Amino acid sequence: MSEPMLLQLRDLACGYQDQRVVQNLNLYLNAGDIGCLLGSSGCGKTTTLRAIAGFEPVHAGEISLAGDVISRPGFTLAPEKRRIGMVFQDYALFPHLTVADNIAFGIRHHPRLAQVVEEMLALVNLGALGKRHPHELSGGQQQRVALARALAPEPQLLLLDEPFSNLDGELRRRLSHEVRDILKARGTSAILVTHDQEEAFAVSDQVGVFKEGRLEQWDTPYNLYHRPATRYVASFVGQGYFIRGQMMDGESVQTELGVLRGTCARDPVGTVDVLLRPDDIMYAPDSPVKARVISKTFQGAATLYRLQLPSGTPLEALFPSQADLHAGDDVGIRVTAQNLVLFPAS
């Protein structure tokens, strides 16, 4: 049984003063799910988050939370009345307060204050650090304090604005998984803003790809990667290249890599561009289809090769690291894609 809808944005337009940054935005989030607004700088994702929080008015459309309209043109429910928590990019911790007092700040009149603070410290694995001050903590620990403080009032929805941007790569990866586990353990719904695809996919159940103030696709990470709705999403999410092809029938495309067969999400006709991901290209020394190695990046269990077909078309392929090839080598390849992602030729 699916969870009830918690957050809905209908035909939303929002921005700053008279400037509309986001247009015609429609998306929803079910209770208990984690959503993500993903895109490059200036695409409108943070503007949308601020409108959900109540920091910015909306120009058109409406925002509903748990069935109640909280924003529409001419009406903006105050942020403190929305039961929405916020984790900021710079954490915004009070430097003069201890960790425990930071967590307690928003629930000072709670009848079980000490117990709740203790529970929050345990939840974010900081049980022994309650008496320390923010400057005595690492960046990852400060982020967990900010998360605990935001969760303490039991918000209906938690908003996270680029929460890991101040952390280094390995810590970002580890903390993104930790945050997902914490939110799922609490059953807390959340919306994350990021420009980092790996982070978006690690944390979120649903991801929205933004481009210049418009939502290109709101979907699962799997569908964004394997079933992109637009050419922009296909290019923006993951790695991949397009090769030109000619439709033969509903399941076959003639390309310079041979005839590709598979399930097509659409029914294009004529000349098409076929999206190929690195994991769609298999190392096959006995294949008559050859490509030249241009460069490679060793990744441990696998190596990412940048290849070039005889026509000059570039490809990327992920081969097992035992295949130790070098620039200039010709290598046999085979396409293993089961679901063909096709777009009309550009």
The CB density around residue 326, as the number of other CB atoms within 10 Å, is 8
Edge-to-edge strands, sheet with 330-335: 281-283, 330-335, 290-298, 302-308, 314-320
pLDDT digits (tens, 9 = 90+) for 6-43: 999 999 999 988 889 999 999 999 999 999 999 998 99
In the chain, CATH 3.40.50.300 covers 5-83+155-233
pLDDT digits (tens, 9 = 90+) for 188-238: 999 999 999 999 999 999 999 999 999 999 999 999 999 999 999 999 998
d(CA 19, CA 322): 55
Q: With pLDDT > 70 as the criterion, what percentage of the chain qualifies?
A: 97
Q: Provide the β-strand partners of residue 69.
A: 64
User: Superfamily assignment of 5-83+155-233 in CATH?
Assistant: P-loop containing nucleotide triphosphate hydrolases (3.40.50.300)
Q: Report strand pairing: 19-30 vs 5-16.
A: antiparallel
d(CA 295, CA 119): 51
* pLDDT interval class at 266 (50, 70, 90): low
b or e along 92-106 (b: 16 or more beta carbons within 10 Å of the residue's beta carbon)?
A: ebeeeebbbbbbbeb
pTM confidence score: 0.90
In the chain, CATH 2.40.50.100 covers 239-344
Look at residue 264 in the predicted model and tell me its pLDDT: 65
Look at residue 189 in the predicted model and tell me its pLDDT: 97
Residues 73-102 have a mean pLDDT of 93
- Report the phi/psi class of residue 59: left, alpha or beta, with left for phi > 0 and alpha for psi in -120 to 50: alpha
d(CA 216, CA 208): 7
Residues 170-197 have a mean pLDDT of 91
Q: Provide the β-strand partners of residue 59.
A: none
Residues 326-331 have a mean pLDDT of 96
Residues 126-142 have a mean pLDDT of 93
Look at residue 337 in the predicted model and tell me its pLDDT: 83
d(CA 289, CA 138): 52
The CATH number for 239-344, chosen from 3.30.450.20, 2.60.40.10, 3.10.290.10, 2.40.50.100, is 2.40.50.100
